[in-house]
Amino acid sequence: QSALTQPRSVSGSPGQSVTISCTGTSSDVGGYNYVSWYQQHPGKAPKLMIYDVFKRPSGVPDRFSGSKSGNTASLTISGLQAEDEADYYCCSYAGKYVLFGGGTKLTVL
């Protein structure tokens, strides 16, 4: 099993939108609607932002949205704010195991 593929970095200015992709295979991302996304600030534990592809936990701003097409899932952050600058990881259930993406560093310019 290989890690899911994410871009190493993305950037955007305050108020803009950015999208982070997460590509897997039909055995993980494409095979289950169990994709989740985590935000991690330096030195902190990851925080759940999206689960089941597009669902938001209570307390997560609706600026964060998720989607999936085939073997690729996406996280879109609209109305970028300075506090959104962090690392983002996708995650997919894959049957007997779980895969994370390599992580994407979001820079708010």
Partner 1 sequence: QVQLQQWGAGLLRPSETLSLTCGVYGGSFSAYYWSWIRQPPGKGLEWIGEIHHSGSTYYIPSLKSRVTISVDTSKNQFSLKLSSVTAADTAVYYCARVTGSGTYYFDSWGQGTLVTVSS
In eight-state DSSP terms, residue 58 is T
Angle subtended at Cα 60 by Cα 27 and Cα 47, rounded to the nearest 5 degrees? 60
| The binder of partner 1 chosen from 13, 59, 62, 97 (CB under 8 A) | 97
**3-class DSSP string for 1-47:** CCCEECCCEEEECCCCCEEEEEECCCCCCCCCCCEEEEEECCCCCCE
Among 86, 103, 106, 108, binds partner 1 (CB under 8 A): 103
Which residue, 24 or 101, is less far from partner 1 as judged by CB? 101
Stretch that binds partner 1, among 9-17, 34-42, 61-69, 72-80 (CB under 8 A): 34-42
Select the residue interacting with partner 1 from 12, 30, 46, 66 (CB under 8 A). 46
SS3 content of the chain, % helix, strand, coil (to 5): 5, 50, 50
Q: Which of 18, 22, 75, 91 is close enough to bind partner 1 by CB under 8 A?
A: 91
Q: Under rule CB under 8 A, how many of the chain's residues touch partner 1?
A: 24
Spatial strand order of the sheet with 64-69 comes to 18-23, 72-77, 64-69
Per CB under 8 A, residues contacting partner 1 are: 1, 3, 32, 34, 36, 38, 45-48, 51-52, 57, 89, 91, 93, 96-103
